[in-house]
Amino acid sequence: MQGSELERISILPDQRSGQPCIRGLRVTVWDVSDMPAAGSSEDEILADYPYLQREDFPAVYAYASRVGSERSIR
């Protein structure tokens, strides 16, 4: 995973119960990663959530993939 992608993800204990969030916003990695899985395109998501940036998507996917890989190793 690229270091710049990781910089877009923040984990703060007092924000969204410590869930990984995008750029300090109150939207979690899981909120965004579920949207394409439910059929929304990145363009639709950006239209509905204008505070997100196109560059957030690779960070979300990379983070989710990394967490999933770590869980499957355990």
Residue 74 in any domain: the answer is: no
pTM (two decimals): 0.82
Residue 73 in any domain: the answer is: no
Bridge partners for 9 per DSSP: 22
CB neighbour list of residue 26: distance below 8 Å, 6 or more residues apart: 15, 16
Sort residue 7 into left (φ over 0), alpha (ψ -120 to 50) or beta.
Answer: alpha
What's the length of the chain? 74
Q: What is the pLDDT of residues 11-64, one digit of tens each?
A: 999 999 999 999 999 999 999 999 998 999 999 999 999 999 999 999 999 999
Instruction: Tell me the residue range of the domain where 9 lies.
Output: 3-67
CATH classification at residue 24 = 1.10.10.10
What's the CA gap between 34 and 53, in Å, rounded? 16
CB neighbour list of residue 49: distance below 8 Å, 6 or more residues apart: 27
